Structure 1
Amino acid sequence: MKTSSDSHPATLSHVFSFASERTDQWRQLNAQARAWAAASDKDAPSHKRKCDEYLGALRELEHYWAFPGPRLMEALSTALEDQDAEAFAHLAQSASAALLSGDFRRSENVWNTDNDGDGRALDALPPDMLSGAAAKPYFEVLVVTPVQSTHWARSREEIARMRREEDPFKYTVVQVASFEDALLATLLNGNLQAVVLLDGFSFASRQDIPGMHEYIRRHIDLDPDNIEPGALATTLAQSIKRIRPELDLYLLTDRAAETLAGSEQARGIRRVFHHVEEPMELHLSILDGISDRFETPYFDNLKKYARRPIGTFHALPIARGKSVFSSNWIRDMGEFYGTNILYAESSATTGGLDSLLEPTGNIKRVQEAIARAFGAKRAYLGTNGTSTSNKIVVQAICKPGDIVIVDRNCHKSHHYGFVLSGAQPYYVEAFPLTQYSMYGAVPLRTIKQALFDCKAEGTLDRVKVIDMTNCTFDGHMYNPRRVMEECLAIKPDLVFLWDEAWFGFAVFNPLHRRRTAMGAAAALTERYRSKAYRAEYEAWREKHPDLDPSDASLLDARLMPDPDKVRIRVYQTHSTHKSMSAFRQGSMMLIWDEDFRHVEGPFEEAFFAHTSTSPNLQLIASLDIARRQMELEGYALTVQATDLSLRLRRAINDHPLISKYFHVATPEDMIPAEFRESGIKDYGPPHSSWAEVADAWDQDEFALDPTRMTLVCGAAGFDGTQLKGLLAERFDIQINKTSRNSILVQININNTRSDASLLVKALADLSREIDQRQEHGTAAECDVFAARVKSLVTDVPDLPNFSRFHDAFRDNSASRSNEGHMRPAFFMAYDESNCEFVKLASDEVDKRLKDGPEMVSANFVIPYPPGFPIMVPGQVIQADTITYMRKLDVKEIHGYHAAQGIKLLKPSALAGHRPGTDR
């Protein structure tokens, strides 16, 4: 991929996000312009040619943004034609700086084309900019119009005249004349918040932009011949909603507006107007739409509460801060945190604060706004992290005896949820990545095999839930549409719980959204209601009249559910604080359940059971604010974060020195070929086109989230824990997750290119040091280094699989399915007389593995890293688990204390236990 550091500007077909590349190209144009202005007569022509090249590339796409705008772009072209290098450099520097700093949102001066500074501003400039109302949030409105471009300036002036001092926001317009131009503007311009469609525009763009159609096709592929006559505007509205569902859409038509407004075609359009008979109403509607998304009901009320003179006679001495600011000893706490956080503390649920447990006011409105923003039917707030959210959902949708097909490597909160609910986990295994001491995700074939095994055993009716982690800690993304569709073909009323703890941001950009639970729920709901699907299903059903569980070919066949029986029942949990601007432990539970009326009571009971009666008010407010930010700028932020992660990957893997010792694992490294049907090896040129990447994300069984980077460090002689500590101590770089020979680098909306540069610099410095030690070290020292690398890269322990539950905790010991009663095993360990300990290194362990009696775990054993349970209560411990534990070199192992040994259930206790009972 070409970047601004290359000799030529990049084109649409070569970049992931042109919005990010655009800023680079303006900086490059600025540099070339300054070089031209300072050049000698001999060198000036070559610099001018470069300026012409960059301005030409930018000119092709700049009309999809309001700034710099047509007049400033024309002024640049004029200066170039007049060979006025000084004027060109001034204008280029002004535009470039304003884009980089965002000053075009705040100051009218940067919209000025007059380099003498006489105050002549653009005709499209909002009046509130002229009045200095810089605090008002700025956005842009896309107008898709059949009006000739020669009349666009007059239209902008008419819109500008409608703006008023009392307007809470300021906006400018971007005008295009076709369906294709509108789609491209929607994809490119993250400043857009509303789209106005004037019926009568054309389909094809008149712009000759290289790569334009490929860029659009990454996200939507439409054949104009399949669009019904007269439906171009409504089809565009539906297409924009697929790409950016948060945008407000308005349709101006000279047809029967009242009839169109009530039609299915107008679904998703906020308001239909009869042409332009009410321009002020359109203006007010645009502002009202932004106000709906900008409003944060809980945060707004909390601010009001903090400003009121409250007398507190409840349980919080810290409320209002008197105990802090009047203290002789803890006044520094108030100085550190400030007054607002203390003034906004309360135990009350009155005065506009509402109750999290029984919301009827602003918290209820927050939940409704979150459901809208994240594409769910219902939403609940979690204030104790997604660990608790998972337990709430599991306990709500499962009852004792229900079978849950679950990834054995899922977060421990799911396992504890099974203990609480009495559900029986049927553990299925993810594919191993032994070289990195981590697991990937569970193949669909494995999940289908589990369902068919239960069908063969006559227990399919008890299978209630499929419970998977999407995306995994290490970035493996399922194809939820495909997983749910094929599983629903086997059992049409299955409930799906997708733990998207790390993936909450994903719904806000169209590339990631296709891999999310809520995105899949919406897509499948629409699919199963269509006539096209019904015809497709009938043809498929003729070839597959019966799903025989003994038919092995069905494991690889594409299965389809009956549209008359299928129910879409999807639950998603995510840690808002992990990828959005929320305080720690902020979580959300999103629901798309067509049968939620049957679950609402149990869900509320589970919510009551696990939710504090004294939730943190600041945390609730931060969830409210996180929703506002993502609904208004989540598209731009998530695309920018993804683009940054791709840049960082290339900077590391393409660096001649760093790549000797470190590299970021690619999709080819992290996903076996059998699950990458597309054959994609890495994302983006020269490895693949972006259209191919989009197709792969649509079709492949697994894909790799670019924002989660496994940085392999074994070749540098570092294990993950060592490198994590080194980066923190020497370079002030914080890392969370590690493996035996890697660290996880996470990019989110908080990261900048300066952050990326800091990491690259640190890795470069470490690589130089290793190089020097290798060059100047003795033969013995080099041998020690080589042995260390070998132990980290080659001599890695095999990963253990789940064995089985002991027969004492199984209903049918001869069953092919492996579900078990984990709850009684868990609580048996509460009685010390039922337990024994054996030392991991003792001969007794090896003797019992060989001769018996079987060793049965009494509790969860979870090494960090990798962070998944290698033993669960009631599991028979086998040799591969013991070997793995003996090779572990991590210090933190939950549920295991080396001085005591492995905690086991005694054979005598097991002999007297009846399956399915707690005794």
Structure 2
Amino acid sequence: MRFHFPITIIDEDFRAENVSGSEIRALASAIEAEGAQVAGITSFGDARSIARQHSRSGAFILSIDDEQFEDVASASKTLDNLREFVLEIRHRNSLIPIFLYGETRTSRHITNDVLKELHGFIHMFEDTPEFVARRIVHESKVYLSRLAPPFFRALIDYAADGSYSWHCPGHSGGVAFLKSPVGQMFYQFFGENLLRADVSNSVDELGQLLDHTGPVAQSERNAERIFDCDHLFFVTNGTSTSNKIVWHSIVAPGDIVVVDRNCRKSVLHAIIMTRAIPVFLQPTRNHYGIIGPIPREALEFERLQSAIRTNPFAANGGDRPRLVAITQSTYDGILYNADAIKRMLDGKVDMLHFDEAWLPHATFHDLYDSMHAIGAGTTRCQDSLVFATQSTHKVLASLSQASQILVQDSESRSLDRECFNEAFLMHTSTSPQYAIIASCDVAAAMMEPPAGTALVEEAINEALDFRRAMRQISLESHGNWWFQVWGPNDLVEEGTGTRADWRLESGAAWHGFGEIADGFNMLDPIKVTILTPGLDIEGKFADIGIPAAIVTRYLAEHGVVVEKTGLYSFFVMFSIGITKGRWNTLVTSLQQFRDDFENDVALNRILPEFVARYPQYEKMNLRHLCAAIHAMYRQHDVAHLTMAMYSSPIVPAMIPADAYAKVAHGEVEHLDIELCEGRVAASVLTPYPPGIPLLIPGERFNRAVVEFLRFSRAFNERFPGFETNIHGLTQRLTNAGVRFYVACLAGEAFGQIDGEGP
């Protein structure tokens, strides 16, 4: 299978009509005669820009001419350019071949820091171009042959060997698609390689994900080494499944588990499936709707014991939890000092589970030292096992649904891999998508130092450059409104800074989480929350506001799609795939929004697709829409309403598994929200944003939750297209208008509204 990795020649005479140009072009022709491709560049130019393109090259040839050494000044400049370029390449790639090509200069003219990074020093007139070309092409082939990690290499070989497929899937390497016109479209869209690589687990030479053998096992061991953990398992249907595998491997019915209330739904599903008894820890929250950390003191073991004793279903089970689960990196980027948590709870709980779906990059940069669960330099527990689950498709470069489970053994015990694999088999398909496995393999290989560190540092730098650009625009706005970026007040002028720059200090006004432990948490700088005008950190509404939902609707219609939208904030993430062009486009789009707002442009001009779908906005202008939604938010004091909703006491009526058992037996009533206060929830109720469950099965609806649902109903009815999305809520059109229904457990009084039953 042929890949495109040209050998890059950098020579200012590459196109010149002189002896030097003639010789370098002769070398290029000889390289092409060997079957390789050549890319010619006439200047080092911006060494960093060329170095960032190292991933596209099979080797570099750097040319130096005698004229560049004619005097001290030119020699010094030549050596400086050469050094900068070589060191930039090696900062990202320690293996790609680099050759120096010159006329009469020798290694004694080159400094050792450059010389030691070279694969060879070629003199223009000593060997034939053909001989030199063979050597360069050989080194390039050796380099490229070592790039693919184990599973990806095996998959390439299998797809290329032309084997006839007699196994599943039924499209037989894509052949079935060729028999249908729409199948032809599908085939042409995805390409032959993807379809040839979509194979069955009966292909022995690719190994088995289910029992971790062959190339799959080799790749998992390779990822173990790169992520510096004791065990690593690839998972092909997301960290939702990774979380369930971990829990089913270590949690049994009746076990007490202490869980971050700011957990993902998969953890709640794991609680239900394992019949565990949950004791929830409440995180802080600010009036922007940003979820903060669980206070450090709440994680002290004595406080955990007290919380267990006051839980009506955990009180008789002792006060030692089987597991403590922490959301390590909240959606908005708040991190915990994982080493401190491990020291606090080591030996007091059997296992610690850090849901690091948004944090697989942390182990590769010292900015995150101690702020991730497993990896180089992290604390190893004496007695407790530590699990981390990571979505490598969120920040790293895997395909969607790619995930991995990391395990760190304690000093006194190791993971029982055979028992663990029983849970792995329980949740893993016998027909995994091999392209996802390959992407897990490649995503890990991409993070091999120094490349991984360079990739993470670039992502951090891009995020900081974006933050700096936004602040500069704010300064140049001379008091006129502009979007703000949530984060520390002080921002380093250049570079990534240190962890101290991103620590959350107690009482700092910018974060709004109140009196928290100094330095126990930090904000991940690549998670960027942009604030729109209209609401301050105290929850006070301004006279004029620009709801974030309108901004992100505008951005989407102009080709910019964000990750999450709040009331007056929206979230973007600087993964390793974000570029300057992408974030500058975001800045430009925000400036265009501001101009359109100031000019009060008609919605049918700036949001034509939206207005076509919702014609009731056809005669509105941008300011009018912003003012209308802002007024409703202000009238209902939504900032305090949502704060009360998440901070109000939640009363459990039964353990989640018992509630779900009633659901499975159909013992459910779908009640209008006006009738649900005091009733027991039968499903998970989750507003988006922020995607944090309000209620889980077995918990009672309280007044604060009902008030929020009433507001959502009124808002959704008045502003279609900007609806609050609440999982677990059903909307129905009745004689009395749109009504909201929720699933409650049967057995209590049931009512009807206006003659309309559920």
User: Is the shorter-chain TM-score for this pair beyond 0.5, marking a shared fold?
Assistant: yes
Distance 1:580 1:158 in 2: 31
Q: Which residue of 1 aligns with 2:268?
A: 415
TM score, norm. by length of structure 1: 0.59
Give SS of 2:278's match: strand
Corresponding residue of 1:399 = 252
**Which residue in 2 is equivalent to 1:646?**
464
Q: Is 1:663 the counterpart of 2:497 in the alignment?
A: no
Alignment of 1:806-821 (within 5 A): 806-807=652-653, 809=654, 821=655
| Aligned mates of 2:291, 2:116 — CA distance in 1 | 60
- 1:769 aligns with one of 596, 611, 632: 596
Query: What is the match of residue 693 of structure 1?
Result: 501
Maintained 8 Å contact 1:640/1:749: yes
Number of corresponding residues: 605
Partner of 2:564: 737
Letter paired with 1:415: L
Once the two structures are superposed, the pairs formed by residues 125-140 of structure 1 within 5 Å of their partners are 138=96
CA distance in 1 between counterparts of 2:94 and 2:625 reads 62
The separation in 2 between residues aligned to 1:99 and 1:781, in whole angstroms, is 42
TM-superposed deviation, 1:313:
1.4
SS in 2 for 1:463: coil
Cα 1:620–1:773 change in 2 (3 A) is same
Q: Is the 8 A contact 1:381 1:620 kept in 2?
A: yes
Distance 1:159 1:908 in 2: 76
SS in 2 for 1:667: coil
Alignment pair present for 1:587 and 2:403: yes
Do the aligned partners of 2:385 and 2:415 also contact (CA within 8 Å) in 1? no
Structure 2 counterpart of 1:559: none
Q: 1:485 aligned to 2:312?
A: no
State how far apart, in whole Å, the 1-side matches of 2:288 and 2:570 are.
Answer: 10
- Tell me what 2:668 maps to: 835
Whether 1:442 and 2:266 are equivalent positions in the alignment is: no
CA contact (8 A) 1:662 1:712 kept: no
Question: Are 1:517 and 2:390 counterparts?
Answer: no
CA distance in 1, matches of 2:269, 2:369: 29
Aligned to 1:712, which of 508, 525, 531? Answer: 531
How far apart are 1:768 and its partner, in Å?
1.6
What's the counterpart of residue 61 of structure 2? 108
Partner of 1:626: 443
How much does 1:167 deviate? 8.3
CA 1:507/1:159 → structure 2, altered by over 3 Å: closer, same or farther? closer
> In structure 1, what is the Cα distance between the partners aligned to 2:339 and 2:116?
46
1:613 aligns with 2:613: no
Q: 1:605 corresponds to which letter in structure 2?
A: E
Deviations 1:563-605 (A, max 9, x none): xxx4242111111011111111000100002266464344211
Q: Hey, what's the Cα distance between the residues in 1 that align with 2:113 and 2:495?
A: 45
Aligned to 1:576: 392
1: CA distance, partners of 2:80 / 2:463: 39
Kept in 2: contact 1:138–1:169 (CA 8 A): no
- How much does 1:870 deviate? 0.6
Alpha carbons of structure 1 residues 353 and 706: separation in structure 2 relative to 1, 3 Å = same
Q: Structure 1 residues 688 and 347 mapped into 2: Cα distance closer, same or farther (>3 Å)? A: closer
Shift in CA distance, 338/293, structure 1 to aligned 2, threshold 3 Å: closer
Judged with a 3 Å threshold, the aligned counterparts in structure 2 of structure 1 residues 790 and 628 are, in CA distance, closer, same or farther, namely same
Residue pair 2:207, 2:215 contacting (<8 A) in 1 also:
yes
Larger mean CA deviation between 877-886 and 756-765 belongs to: 877-886
Correspondences of 1:423-502 after superposition (within 5 Å): 423-433=276-286, 435-448=287-300, 449-454=303-308, 459-460=317-318, 462-488=320-346, 491-502=347-358
**CA shift at 1:519, angstroms?**
3.9
Match of 2:453 in 1: 635
Question: Deviation of residue 493 (structure 1)?
Answer: 4.1
- C-alpha distance in structure 2 between counterparts of 1:155 and 1:784, whole Å: 61
Q: State the one-letter code of the partner of 1:823.
A: A
2:625 maps to 1:798: no
| TM norm structure 2 | 0.71
Partner amino acid, structure 1, of 2:379? L
Per the TM alignment, residue 468 of structure 1 is displaced from its structure 2 partner at its CA by 1.0
1: CA distance between counterparts of 2:116 and 2:273? 63
1:374 aligns with 2:374: no
Q: What are the residue-to-residue correspondences of 1:41-60 with 2, within 5 Å?
A: none
Separation (CA, whole Å) in 1 of partners of 2:221 and 2:672: 54
How far has the Cα of 1:390 moved from its partner? 0.8
- Give the secondary-structure state (helix, strand or coil) at the position aligned to 1:304: helix
* Structure 1 unpaired stretches of 5+: 1-91, 130-134, 142-148, 172-286, 529-565, 669-680, 775-779, 810-820, 911-919
Alpha-carbon distance between aligned partners in 1 of 2:622 and 2:166, rounded to the nearest angstrom: 69
**Structure 1 position 728 matched with structure 2 position 556:** yes
- Structure 1 position 707, deviation (Å): 0.7
Quick check: 615-624 or 793-802, which moved more?
A: 793-802
Secondary structure at the residue paired with 1:711?
strand
Provide the C-alpha distance between the structure 2 equivalents of 1:627 and 1:467, rounded to a whole number of angstroms.
25
Partner Cα distance (2:117, 2:627) in 1: 70
Question: Aligned partners of 1:410 and 1:375: how far apart in 2?
Answer: 26
Partner of 1:387: 240
- Report the secondary structure of 1:826's partner residue: helix
- Residues 114-193 of structure 1: matches in 2 within 5 Å? 114=67, 138=96, 153=111
Q: CA 1:689 to 1:314, structure 2 compared with 1: closer, same or farther past 3 Å? A: closer
Counterpart-to-counterpart distance in 2, 1:567 and 1:605: 23
Helix, strand or coil for the counterpart of 1:523? coil
Q: 1:510 to 1:782 in 2, by over 3 A?
A: closer
What code does the residue aligned with 1:896 have?
A: L
Between 717-726 and 689-698, the greater mean CA deviation after superposition: 689-698
Given the superposition, is the C-alpha separation of residues 513 and 752 from structure 1 closer, same or farther in structure 2, using an over 3 Å criterion?
A: same
Letter in 2 for 1:624: D
Give 5+ residue unaligned stretches, structure 2: 1-40, 87-92, 100-106, 122-131, 506-516, 535-543, 602-620, 716-722, 733-739, 751-758
Distance in 2, matches of 1:689 and 1:291, equals 35
Is 1:364 the counterpart of 2:217 in the alignment? yes
Distance 1:155 1:516 in 2: 34
Cα shift readout 1:26-78 (whole Å, capped 9, x = no counterpart): xxxxxxxxxxxxxxxxxxxxxxxxxxxxxxxxxxxxxxxxxxxxxxxxxxxxx
| Matched residue type, 1:506 | A
Closer, same or farther: CA 161–765 of 1 in aligned 2, 3 Å: closer
- What SS does structure 1 have at the residue aligned with 2:210? coil
Where does residue 869 of structure 1 map in the other structure?
Answer: 693
Please give the secondary structure, in 1, of the residue aligned with 2:420.
helix
| One-letter amino acid of the structure 2 residue matched with residue 421 of structure 1 | T
Moved more, 309-318 or 364-373: 309-318
Residue 603 of structure 1 corresponds to 420
Alpha-carbon RMSD? 4.1
Rate the CA distance shift 1:111–1:636 in 2: closer, same or farther, 3 A: farther
SS of aligned partner of 1:425: strand
Tell me the amino acid that sits aligned with residue 304 of structure 2. Answer: A
Question: Do residues 325 (structure 1) and 178 (structure 2) align?
Answer: yes
2: CA distance, partners of 1:159 / 1:717 = 57
Question: In 1, distance between residues paired with 2:396 and 2:252?
Answer: 33
Local SS of the residue matching 1:614? coil
For the 8 Å contact 1:648–1:756, the answer to whether it is kept is yes
CA deviation map 1:871-905 (0-9, x unaligned): 11111221111122222344422111133622222
SS of the residue 2:408 aligns to: strand
